[in-house]
Structure 1
């Protein structure tokens, strides 16, 4: 029972660590494992109910606390399940663009499996992350079908390659926060009167082996959010964000951009880790403005990476203009600036 008490106590306390807003990875990890910790908390509660003593105040209090924490965590994540109404509301389509986005894992060499996924989905745009020169060579055959490219081969697990069937404009490669972590921005002509602004991101995560804190990742999302607010046009943000959608940072990003998560009401679509079913988190995201909607959305088969890929079909709503972003509440505006200030003293970031 001692071990059960210790585990229960840990999982009663840890879900509230992200609420401290401390950027260190230790405090942010609990956000990633909410689904897993709910399962553990349910098991602990069940074991305590079976083996515990209902006449003992300590056991009863522990069970009550576990129940409260389970409800707290459920309220954090349930809207991203299929239990709620879809947020990406369908409308009359004016045009459609499809994108296949995948973190390929730099050390993975199953180029054939990824090529098979690309051929199967036949997207208009292919975005691959963690791609180096070997990956560039390994998938080079798709350039016959995707002649418009942006290539950033890196050996640090943050390379990025973009392939498009159609011509892109206003292409910009930015190193917004870290000098070796790129992002790709471009405009995609959907119809004669509609251009879509794409922001492709892959910020570094807070972890013991990468950045010690989430400051860099959080700041990249905030800078991108500022760009989106200023451009005020149909927009898609896509990539491996190394964050879960229910985190405070991602929710703040959605609030400042008024963007929609097509996952809401459809399911979690956990993309990492592809090889371990119990340790899967929804880290690969797509967000879009309200003048767009996502029709088809599906996860790829395993192609040897630690991530699954995601395929999306994004439609432009006919006769629906891009709504202007609402002014942020003072508290949220202060939080955005606080996140940017945390990196401004050590990073030379800029946005345009």
Structure 2
């Protein structure tokens, strides 16, 4: 029993500190995800060890102190996303918001065939905009008629590689583009959205590759940080939405926020975990909406599952440029700009390698 606790505590401590290494290696970056789990398991291990065996010598005191530091290291990442932390994105104070709209983000899972269940959810919640990740032609064909009858504007790129994307909107879209920022097989969308009152904002949707076995994260980092720079440079306020395949507390997400100057409505409110819908004990916040401080929050909620391994999430915002300065504006330090530029260059280089490997193959 003692040996088991020592091994468990040592492994969990390693899991806590390894993600501090700035590297795109997949086996390190996946450890960004389970910080809550590592903190809870290491706390249980530490308490069990002290209760069962005490602190009999200096070596054990040092060991328990190290485990405690590992727990605090995890806690500092996840604390901002608990309801006891200060709220970052302010709630609207308008009793009758005049420029409000809502967005649903849903990774439908390409192999999921419960098309009608998803359609029923869209009809029930009636969002102004729907961002759909992972649709293929089957998804497109099953939803085309009902969604195109309901939504006047759309951008569609269904694919068979799990990186398809579709956007349906009641709000008018201008200058819409399908972009391939890093990899030729992974699209992202850009469009200018016009609100009912005439105000406009830039809207970016993304779905980069996740860290997984033998797949490092250079291209994910590059795509997110390129979008962050694009969102910051535009003349309109921006919103970025989609399945980022990254958790809200990662170093990449922190860089993304600071470079883009956008707010995360999860901060001070909760995790709003969207993946994995099938495994309650292992869920993480992967589907995100970040937005400019010219917007105020009305509501954010996780919707019911419909057969995908992701829960949909829906956010309702109000355009309030007159109160922009009352909200926090994330700002990147010079060294963060340098770090972001290095990560972008590394990701673009990796993307070129991957695109080169696909030459001669059909990119659908």
Q: Where on the TM-score scale, by shorter chain, does this alignment land: which range?
A: over 0.9
Where does residue 130 of structure 1 map in the other structure? 134
- Asked if the contact 1:94/1:318 (under 8 Å) is kept, the reply is no
Structure 1 residues without counterparts, runs of 5 or longer: none
CA distance in 2 between partners of 1:297 and 1:324 (Å)? 19
Aligned pairs for 1:199-348 (under 5 A) are 199-208=204-213, 212-317=215-320, 319-320=322-323, 328-347=332-351
Where does residue 159 of structure 2 map in the other structure? 154
- Asked if the contact 2:173/2:191 (under 8 Å) is kept, the reply is yes
TM-score (norm 1): 0.93
Write the deviation string for residues 8-65 of structure 1: whole angstroms up to 9, x where unpaired. Answer: 1011122111211111011111110101111111111121122223213343332222
Write the deviation string for residues 190-246 of structure 1: whole angstroms up to 9, x where unpaired. Answer: 14441011101100111116xx21110000011111111210422110000000111
Structure 1 residue 118 corresponds to structure 2 residue 122 = yes
CA distance in 2 between partners of 1:226 and 1:281 (Å)? 26
Structure 1 residue 197 corresponds to structure 2 residue 202 = yes
Where does residue 80 of structure 2 map in the other structure? 79
Write the deviation string for residues 134-166 of structure 1: whole angstroms up to 9, x where unpaired. Answer: 111222222211132211110100011111123
Write the deviation string for residues 119-143 of structure 1: whole angstroms up to 9, x where unpaired. Answer: 2211001111010011112222222
Where does residue 21 of structure 2 map in the other structure? 20
> Which region of structure 1 is more displaced relative to structure 2, 280-289 or 110-119?
110-119
**Could you say if the C-alpha distance between residues 282 and 115 of structure 1 is closer, same or farther in structure 2, counting changes exceeding 3 Å?**
same
Write the deviation string for residues 257-304 of structure 1: whole angstroms up to 9, x where unpaired. Answer: 111000111100011100111111111111001000221111011111
Aligned pairs for 1:64-75 (under 5 A) are 64-75=65-76
Structure 2 residues without counterparts, runs of 5 or longer: 354-364
Where does residue 30 of structure 1 map in the other structure? 31
- Asked if the contact 1:229/1:325 (under 8 Å) is kept, the reply is no
Where does residue 96 of structure 1 map in the other structure? 100
CA distance in 1 between partners of 2:55 and 2:19 (Å)? 32
Where does residue 53 of structure 1 map in the other structure? 54
CA distance in 2 between partners of 1:167 and 1:286 (Å)? 20
CA distance in 2 between partners of 1:33 and 1:27 (Å)? 12
- Measured after TM superposition, the shift of residue 346 of structure 1 is 4.3
Pairwise CA RMSD: 2.0
SS in 2 for 1:139: helix
TM-score (norm 2): 0.90
Where does residue 181 of structure 1 map in the other structure? 186
